[in-house]
Chain A
């Protein structure tokens, strides 16, 4: 009996309108949404990277498979990397059948996320337009629409008249250098508040007993039996992790980092087909709502959405040079502004509030690298390029299944690291960073 009472007391308060009123009236403080715990000496599994992917993996390990002796390690704070820097777009209108099935499952999980995690993630299913400026890109849009329809994903190609009905601010005349000839319309696409997703997964995972350790940097991964130095590399197995807060022994390490994926994998002696590129984004001052949908142009390398606060969020393609530096550049701002004005001449007087960059791990085929590696117990969920946020829930779910069952789930088997040995690449030309 006392056990139940203690468990009830330990439960974090549910978020609801009633709770808001009740706590507001009584002047109660909201408790911190996850615990601060001591780092233990041993865990059943360690997840490196406290972003949406790492937290989702830990959450689904606990919820779907009952594995709660898990630590999530992050060298900074939760959501400090790409999880808090992306442009928060979700969609499933990809080109490859593998990609469509995968991102469609992710969209389903995003749609039920607010209920599952009891947190308002501000999911806004506002539709998604991918503009075509040439005959060839229009052809790709038709191709994508057909692949989508075949898999039950709602996508269709629409013409300039329908585009201006949906988004009147777009210049659909024949005057621009790159006129808008049509678009792939994807009604289930939209935007989600990315910070809330991080906090939601963190809170739910913590609630089920997962430990979240911030400011805990992984210095090395301890392996034995491998063919490389110190027992690392193919044929070896993971025995522990060395961090700046002490050593941990664990049979399972899941690498859920972005930007540093190659460096973490090198600690286990695994080489990845990844180069790290920054992607710059920017946001304007807030104005009244005028853009009811997400607009993407692959040819002009820009995507635009308006937040609920009224700011326009712009993202671009990745910088063409591999670097870990996330400094902004004037070229980016100039090019971005030019492209946005080409699409929406009416926003020419708007001012940029700020710009930032995040690190993207690019793979040669614009598909992620997920699942097992030649090192036993070392799993990767990396190479997320420009599409990591929209894939976070399904990646967490599938990676948790891989860890719990020891087998690669069917949904992620096309994305295995071994595809680069066999040459079976998954060319995802529906990725935002690919020009059409």
Chain B
């Protein structure tokens, strides 16, 4: 069981949300080389420790948000607050 801190709905069971994977800045499609673009699409840091990642609150507020989780222990830190636009997915 993993309680994910949604900024709007509070802590929710992870099965209520969709996991969006690592949060990386998207390179500009107009100027990115194919290699940069494919790196953004496929390559992952996959650390055993703190990771910035995206979640989609599927059965709650239906909004994306970004939060930090420790992939070794599954604890969250620095949960976003309502209205927080940090790293929000466009």
Please list the residues of chain A having a beta carbon within 8 angstroms of any beta carbon in chain B. 260, 262-263, 266, 271-276, 320-325, 327, 329-331, 364, 420-421, 423
Contacts and interface: CB of A to CB of B under 8 A. Distances in A.
Interface in B1-50: 1-2, 14-15, 18-19, 21-22, 34-35, 38-39, 41-48
A295 to B, nearest CB: 25
Nearest to A261: B46
Contact of B42 (A276, A329, A364): A364
Given A274-B44, A275-B44, A322 B71 contact: yes
A275 B53 CA distance: 12
B2 A262 contact: no
A423 B41 CA distance: 10
Interface residues of B, number: 26
B28 to A, nearest CB: 19
Interface of B: 1-2, 14-15, 18-19, 21-22, 34-35, 38-39, 41-48, 51, 53, 71-74
A420 B42 contact: yes
Given A321-B14, A420-B42, A420-B43, A275 B72 contact: no
Given A272-B43, A364-B42, A423-B38, A322 B19 contact: yes
Contacts of A323: 71-72, 74
A275 B42 contact: no
Contacts of B21: 275, 322
A324 B42 contact: no
Given A322-B21, A330-B1, A331-B15, A273 B44 contact: yes
Main secondary structure of the interface of A (DSSP, over half): loop
B4 to A, nearest CB: 9
Nearest to B43: A271
8 contacts: A272-B44, A273-B44, A276-B48, A321-B2, A322-B22, A322-B71, A325-B73, A364-B41
A272 B74 contact: no
A216 B43 CA distance: 28
A331 B41 CA distance: 30
A276 B38 contact: no
Residue of A271, A323, A327 most packed against chain B (CB within 10 A): A323
Contacts of B14: 321
A324 B48 contact: yes
Contacts of B42: 273, 364, 420
Residue of B15, B43, B73 most packed against chain A (CB within 10 A): B43
Contact of B38 (A260, A272, A330, A421): A421
B1 A276 contact: no
Contacts of B53: 322
A420 B53 CA distance: 22
Contacts of A260: 48
Nearest to A331: B15
Contacts of A364: 41-42
Nearest to A320: B19
B46 A322 contact: yes
Contact of B46 (A262, A320, A321, A423): A262
Given A271-B39, A274-B46, 19 more contacts: A263-B47, A263-B48, A266-B45, A271-B43, A272-B44, A273-B42, A274-B44, A275-B21, A275-B46, A276-B48, A321-B14, A322-B21, A322-B53, A325-B71, A327-B74, A331-B15, A364-B41, A421-B35, A423-B34
